[in-house]
Amino acid sequence: AAARNGVLIKGGAYLEALGSVRAVAFDKTGTLTIGQPRVQSVLPLNGRSEAELLQQAAAAERYSEHPLGEAIVAEAMERNIPLDVLSVEQSQSHTGAGIAALVADRPVQVGTRQFVLNGRASPVIEEQLANLERQGQTAVLVSIDGKVEGIIGMADELRPEAKNAVTAIHKAGVEQTVMLTGDRELVARMIAAEVGIDEVRAELLPDQKVEAVVGLLDAHGSVAMVGDGINDAPALARATVGIAMGAAGTDTALETADVALMGNDLTRASWAIHLSRKTKRIITENITIALGIKAAVLLLAVAGLATLWQAIFADVGASLIVILNGLRLLRQQDEHA
């Protein structure tokens, strides 16, 4: 049933564990959103032009696999800004923070406020950052020669099924949904409110996502984590059940996760939880049916009333009944889909 509906479950233990999940944690970028952010605003400072700011940032991000870095490079290419004319050396990616490189022998940093400014920003920059966040944009700072030279604002589109998926997860009996993201809190809260997520934990590094999952495990006992990126892999591994977005997910996330949603349809996560709980109910029914039939025939045998055909029915007949009862999952899950 899972394979028919685009859900890869890597073993019976994970199918069973899904049914006991009481909290679900979501990554934001690439999970609740499509994962293809686009540049919305380019705000140069200190007399620089938009083209110059984008050229420096895109050169540093040229080989980045992060969605925000790819968006900056795509915007520069769309504006026909040449990148090959700038040499790039000593490029270092800082997970969950940004990238640093020597661009044309000048140190360039592109990333979060904490990474570029160590958390300290001037009133002018603070005002611009707050304005971008109020518009739902993720702000990336660009530093050249140790001085902030501009801000690039980006926005990602919500998955069209995200709201329905979160609603279905709540209806499946999950007590709490949480967003775990490295993005700024204001942006994260806007998205969480739009899709109906209960709690937001923002500005998290990968190890802090793991700590958040551990906290949810302590509070709820059983937690599923849904993510797609390399940054999510440690949290996916620590959760009771890790769920990866299949087509959009990185190889690391897919390898680490226990369940993969092959069609990138987030509603399959709630569907998988429903499948697990229905499976557990049918297993309970099957055990009850099998033991009930055998107990009845055993009592008849003790009383001297059992026949050979009744004994065969208690064995082969009970097996056929539980198989047929289990096959109801195919029909019912297709209907649920």
Q: What strands, in cross-sheet order, belong to the sheet with 106-111?
A: 38-44, 147-155, 138-144, 106-111, 98-103, 88-94
Helical ranges in the chain per DSSP H: 12-18, 50-60, 67-78, 113-117, 123-134, 162-171, 185-195, 206-220, 233-238, 251-256, 267-302, 308-312, 318-336
Structure tokens belonging to residue 64: 């980045």
Among residues 27, 183, 232, 265, the one annotated as catalytic is 27
- 235 DSSP 8-state letter: H
> How large is the angle between the packed helices 267-302 and 318-336, nearest 10 degrees?
160
Strand 223-227, strand 241-245: pairing: parallel
Residue 302 Cα to chain centre, angstroms: 58
Identity of the residue numbered 95: T
- DSSP letter for each residue of 140-207: EEEEETTEEEEEEEEE-PBPTTHHHHHHHHHHTT--EEEEE-SS-HHHHHHHHHHHT-SEEE-S--HH
51: exposed, middle or buried (C-beta count within 10 Å: 0-12, 13-18, 19+)? Answer: middle
Q: How many CB atoms lie within 10 A of CB 157?
A: 11
Dist CA 112 CA 119 (whole Å) = 9
DSSP 3-state of 82: coil
How far, CA to CA in Å, does 183 sit from each of 2, 49, 244?
33, 26, 20
Residue 27 bears catalytic tag: yes
| Catalytic (active-site) positions | 27
